[in-house]
Amino acid sequence: MRLSPLVVSLLACVALAGCMSSNAADVLKVGASSETTASVSGPRPAEVVGLAEEQQTMIEADADVDPVKVSALAPPDVIDEPAVKAVALVTPPTPTARPETRRYGAVQRQRFRDAKPINFGKRKPADYAVHGVDVSRWQGEIDWVKLRSQGANFAYIKATDGGDHLDPMFRKNWREADAAGLKRGAYHFFYWCRSASSQADWFIRNVPKDPNALPPVIDVEWNHLSACKKRPSRATVLEKMQVFMDKIEAHYGQRPVIYTAPDFYGDNLKNAFQNYPFWLRAVAQHPSKVYPGRDWVFWQYSGSGLSHGVKGKIDLNVFSGSESDWRRWLGKQERVAAN
């Protein structure tokens, strides 16, 4: 039977529409599993449900993602064209934190107060980005989570002194500071009436070898409250320090930091140990004025700090550089300790 041109045209249009409808549905079926969210109603395959919940979790976790743009695709027989176009614009959320930020934790802005505030002039502690504390048993029970929230990004914790004394709070503080997200290290108070080698052995015996910890510290100062009244010559001081530091570095893989105060530094450490990092006490002036020409990594600027999380006073410190410098320095310490 011969069909009229009009009938042929009508049949062709119907066939074409059917193909387009089938193709459109197939295309949408291919893309639906990766873009479906929990807002789709009606029964869904299990694998689609899982992807939907995962996508919804990502939306809720990222305040920068606009939930409106992550509209769900309806089943193929109920296609919402604006929603399809919106889905095409969606890209996976980009993490806002850089890898090193996630690794070392965000730097908290310091909120410490001081019982005896000092005017440091143009170069003051508040100009530095990374603040921290040092503690011993004298601080008693510490709420490390609260202390961290107040701006303690790192903590040096008293571990040992001499060759037979362990700070009774060391192990507890060591665990809890780490759990609260602080970078922490241990320090040893050097005793001038014991051999340097025996003191290093005592420190090694009590302080865990952790490549993620800050470098160990040797605390050298004159202590008028100590039972040991010896004040060795400069040559003896330097020799004993070198013995202790060599043994510590060989064990932990990190070069120790030298903590000191102005009087001891003036008597013994000027122009000494140029290749060692220093932690300097200067509670009335900037270290550049108290220790001219000496580079430093940490500055202890107060012994009368006040903070939530600690009863009484606490020592306050800053790191010498920016946030970026801090993360680079931490990374370097970890690489050295791991080798």
Q: What is the dihedral of CA 245, 247, 248, 249, to 10 degrees?
A: 80
> Same domain for 122 and 73?
no
Which listed residue (178, 221, 246, 334) is catalytic?
A: 221
Alpha helices, DSSP H only, in the chain? 5-35, 46-61, 81-88, 99-104, 144-149, 170-179, 196-206, 234-252, 262-264, 287-290, 323-338
In a domain, 97, yes or no: no
Verify that 172 and 280 share a domain, yes or no: yes
Domain annotation covers residue 98: no
The pTM (predicted TM-score) of the whole model is 0.71
CATH code for the domain in which residue 131 is found:
3.20.20.80
Strand pairing class (298-306; 113-114): antiparallel
Per the structure, the count of domains in the chain is 2
Kindly tell me if the per-residue pLDDT of 135 is higher than 80: yes
Considering the chain, what is the average pLDDT of its residues?
Answer: 80
Looking at the domain assignment, is residue 94 inside a domain? no
How many residues are present in the chain? 339
Q: Is the pLDDT of residue 65 over 80?
A: no
Longest dimension (CA), the chain: 124
**pLDDT tens-digit series, residues 228-277:** 999 999 999 999 999 999 999 999 999 999 999 999 999 999 999 999 99
Q: What CA–CA distance (Å, rounded) separates 240 from 238? A: 6
Do residues 90 and 255 lie in contact, with contact meaning Cβ atoms separated by under 8 Å? no
- The answer to whether residues 48 and 112 belong to one domain is no
Residues 104, 327: contact at Cβ < 8 Å? yes
> Are 23 and 154 within one domain?
no
Handedness of CA 242, 244, 247, 253 (dihedral sign): negative
Active site (annotated) includes residue 221: yes
Please give the residue range of the domain that contains residue 180: 103-338
Of 35, 134, 161, 167, catalytic: 134
Nearest Cα neighbor of 133 from 212, 208, 187 is 187
Amino acid at 267: D
Residues 11 and 114 in one domain: no
Residue 204 shares a structural domain with residue 277: yes
Q: Do 83 and 122 share a structural domain?
A: no
In this structure, what token pair is assigned to residue 172? 């507890």
Q: Which two tokens stand for residue 37?
A: 């969210």
Taking the C-alpha atoms of residue 98 and residue 301, their distance in angstroms, rounded to an integer, is 30
166 falls within a domain: yes
- Residue at 320 is within a domain: yes
Express each pLDDT in 97-124 by its tens digit: 444 444 567 899 999 999 999 999 999 9
Residues 188 and 157: beta-carbon distance below 8 Å: no
> Which of 62 and 250 is assigned the larger pLDDT?
250
Element (H, E) at 319: strand 314-319
Q: How do residues 287-301 score in pLDDT, each as one tens digit?
A: 999 999 999 999 999
pLDDT tens, 143-197? 999 999 999 999 999 999 999 999 999 999 999 999 999 999 999 999 999 999 9
